[in-house]
């Protein structure tokens, strides 16, 4: 197994290496790839030092799998070049997600769709992954009609520059700004760029991606995405209207039995999901499960996950594991 990691020096790239090591992913040859300015630098993995190489050198090596976490522009330009030499690309950017001929994969939900012919596989948006992890088993039983989601997203979702901005502001230091306003002691209803309809790109990802992952256009999603001053972990307040009624005990049981989900839901002991509990974990945590008393067949819940792990790195590595275990690479 020859594996290339494109974007090895970024925040998600670092977590990818950590997840690959933790899950003991079988690698015979590891190619760590980054931009020209990083070529030649050393990165340690499993006690061994690796030199960063460029994209052309990585393509020439013809890896079995290339995991991309280097931005949409890089993916659009270079993923097809890897695919041409027979490499299967797992892409963490938004570049390919809504392309009709590219599959958008959350392994617990739809990995069975993958074939040897899929040479570019899209990893969904971090906020989408944790949302569909909780929605998929409930949709199967009760059939969703409409989902209203408000997100509370950490600065790590923007990247290192945003984390640095928050840390500078907390320390009272003037520095480079990732956002148009301060983030410390603030909340910005502005994740990604605004589109012509007044929604941000992040909000439209949340509206469109779940339909593709669940292969169902009969339900709709509307979203408001908010950036908050937490260092890691995305939270979501989710309101779901179903076609069929439910018992709360059944909802909890279904979620409890769903692989990858941990239910934390006991108001008597102040037990509910929080980013501080999700940090460095792969599970999606669900709590505050309660009936919406304003209309029938409607549920409220609170979903939290580590956006750099299940929201990015872990999901990508799980896709790679599925490909390997099913002899698709």
Both 288 and 179 in a single domain? Answer: yes
Both 318 and 287 in a single domain? Answer: no
Q: Of the listed 112, 184, 234, 256, which one is catalytic?
A: 234
Both 259 and 140 in a single domain? Answer: yes
> What local confidence, expressed as pLDDT, does residue 46 receive?
93
Show the tokens assigned to 1. 């197994």
Is 191 designated active site? Answer: no
Regions of the chain where pLDDT drops below 70 = none
Helix residue ranges per DSSP H, the chain: 11-22, 55-60, 72-84, 107-110, 126-142, 160-171, 201-213, 248-256, 275-278, 314-325
CATH number at residue 154: 3.30.360.10
> What local confidence, expressed as pLDDT, does residue 36 receive?
85
Dist CA 28 CA 85 (whole Å):
19
Dist CA 278 CA 234 (whole Å):
9
Q: Is 145 helix (H, G, I), strand (E, B) or coil?
A: strand
Both 161 and 293 in a single domain? Answer: yes
Both 317 and 294 in a single domain? Answer: no
Residues 203-212 as b/e (b if ≥16 CB within 10 A, e otherwise) read: bbbbbbbbbb
Both 161 and 116 in a single domain? Answer: no
Number of domains observed in the structure of the chain: 2
Both 178 and 289 in a single domain? Answer: yes
pLDDT tens per residue across span 24-73: 999 999 999 998 888 989 999 999 999 999 999 999 999 999 999 998 99
200: left (phi over 0), alpha (psi -120 to 50) or beta: beta
Q: What domain range is 223 assigned to?
A: 127-306
Both 89 and 131 in a single domain? Answer: no
* Residue 242, strand partner residues: 144
Both 139 and 242 in a single domain? Answer: yes
Both 110 and 148 in a single domain? Answer: no
Is 126 designated active site? Answer: yes
* pTM of the full structure: 0.96
Show the tokens assigned to 326. 């099913």
Both 17 and 78 in a single domain? Answer: yes
> What local confidence, expressed as pLDDT, does residue 19 receive?
97
Q: Are strands 220-227 and 120-122 parallel, antiparallel or unpaired?
A: unpaired
Helix 126-142 × helix 201-213 angle, to 10°: 40
Q: Of the listed 112, 126, 139, 256, which one is catalytic?
A: 126
């Amino acid at each position: 197994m020859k594996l290339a990691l494109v974007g090895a020096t970024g925040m998600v790239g670092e977590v990818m290496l950590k997840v690959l090591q933790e899950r003991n992913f079988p690698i015979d040859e590891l190619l760590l790839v980054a931009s020209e300015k990083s070529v030649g630098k050393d990165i340690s993995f499993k006690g061994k030092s690796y030199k960063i190489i460029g994209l052309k050198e990585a393509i020439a090596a013809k890896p079995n799998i290339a995991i991309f976490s280097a931005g949409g522009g890089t993916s659009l330009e270079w993923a097809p070049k890897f695919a041409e030499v027979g490499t299967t690309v797992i892409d963490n950017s938004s570049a390919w997600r809504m392309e009709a001929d590219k599959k958008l994969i959350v392994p617990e939900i739809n990995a069975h769709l993958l074939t040897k012919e899929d040479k570019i596989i899209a990893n969904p948006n971090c906020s989408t992954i944790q949302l569909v992890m909780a929605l998929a088993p409930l949709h199967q039983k009760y059939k969703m009609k409409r989902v209203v989601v408000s997100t509370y997203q950490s600065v790590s979702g923007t990247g290192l520059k945003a984390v640095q901005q928050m840390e500078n502001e907390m320390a009272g230091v003037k520095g480079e700004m990732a956002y148009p306003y301060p983030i410390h002691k603030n909340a910005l209803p502005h994740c990604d760029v605004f589109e012509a309809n007044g929604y941000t790109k992040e909000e439209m990802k949340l509206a469109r991606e779940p339909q593709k992952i669940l292969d169902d256009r009969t339900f709709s999603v509307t979203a408001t995405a908010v950036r908050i001053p937490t260092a890691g972990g995305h939270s979501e307040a989710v309101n779901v209207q179903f076609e069929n009624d439910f018992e709360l005990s059944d909802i909890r049981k279904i979620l409890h039995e769903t692989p990858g989900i941990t239910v934390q839901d006991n108001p008597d002991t102040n037990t509910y999901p929080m980013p501080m509990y999700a940090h460095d974990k792969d599970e999606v945590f669900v709590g505050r499960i309660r009936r919406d008393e304003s209309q029938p067949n409607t549920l409220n819940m609170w979903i939290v996950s580590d956006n750099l792990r299940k929201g990015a790195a872990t999901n990508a590595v799980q896709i790679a594991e599925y490909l390997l275990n099913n002899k698709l690479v």
